[in-house]
Amino acid sequence: MSRKLTAATLALTVAGGVYLTALPAQASNMGFKLERSFAVVREDPSIPGTSFQNIYLLSFPLFNGLGDVGNSGAAGDKCAAAPDTIVDSTDAICDLFTERANPADRGNSFGFQRFNRDSCLFEAHTAAVSFAGLQFGGTPFTLERDAGFWITVNASKVPPPANRAVVVGSHDPSYTGRQIRQPSPDCIPRNDFINLPYHSMYQRANEILCGLEGVDWADGNADGNPDTCTRGVFDGTRAISVLTFDNVNDDSTGTIDNGFTSRTVAFSPILGRITFNGSNFDLIPGDAYVLSISPAHVATTFISPHF
For residues 254 and 205, give the distance between their C-alpha atoms in angstroms, rounded to a whole number: 11
Residue 139 confidence (pLDDT) = 97
Query: What does the pLDDT look like over 270-294, one tens digit per residue?
Result: 999 999 999 999 999 999 999 999 9
Question: Per mean pLDDT, which range of 7-11, 171-175, 234-238 is the poorest?
Answer: 7-11
- Position 156 scores a pLDDT of 94
Q: Give pLDDT, residue 13.
A: 42
> How is residue 69 annotated by DSSP?
-
- Check pLDDT > 50 for residue 19: no
How crowded is residue 257: how many other Cβ atoms within 10 Å of its Cβ? Answer: 16
Q: Which residues contact 223 (CB under 8 A, 6 or more apart)?
A: none
Whole-structure pTM value: 0.91
The pair phi, psi for residue 94, each rounded to 5°, is: -65, -30
Instruction: Report how far residue 6's alpha carbon sits from residue 239's, in angstroms, rounded to the nearest whole number.
Output: 28
